[in-house]
Amino acid sequence: MANTIQVDVVSAEEQIYSGPAEFVALPGEAGELGIYPKHTPLITRIKPGAVRIRVPGQAEEEFVFVAGGILEVQPRTVTVMADTRSSASIKAYKKTSSKEPARTPRSTRRAYPPVYRPERNRDG
């Protein structure tokens, strides 16, 4: 039990989850965040999605669905302040997460900014 971290997931309405964990994964604004015990302190916003919690002694991870919020990480504590708890079910999440991700049509992909090339003087 020495290599665990305390996880608290709360919303304005209720405490959603509280307990020890070996690992926590969350949807951050810049991508998936993975938190292990003794992680460097940080505060960041999280996107809507699943908070995956690996509980010591359990084969399956716990899932908590949040509609965004704030994440605070301290070396021994992870606190998720969720905007609201999502009503999505674990079965629905497992169905969608097992599928291959949808591809974005080429016309809607974000293009890199154009490269500036000054006009060349062709007269010499």
pLDDT of residue 87: 47
Chunk the chain into consecutive blocks of 10 residues (it has 124) and report each block's average pLDDT, rounded to whole numbers: 86 90 93 93 93 92 91 95 65 53 51 58 60
Q: At 75, list the tokens.
A: 């070396």
Q: Tell me if 49 is assigned to some domain.
A: yes
Q: Tell me if 109 is assigned to some domain.
A: no
> Which residues form the domain of 72?
5-90
Torsion on CA atoms 40, 76, 6, 61, rounded to nearest 10: 50
Q: Tell me if 59 is assigned to some domain.
A: yes
pLDDT of residue 2: 61
**Looking at residue 68, which CATH number applies to its domain?**
2.60.15.10
pTM: 0.67
Question: How many domains, the chain?
Answer: 1
Q: What are 54's strand-pairing partners? A: 23
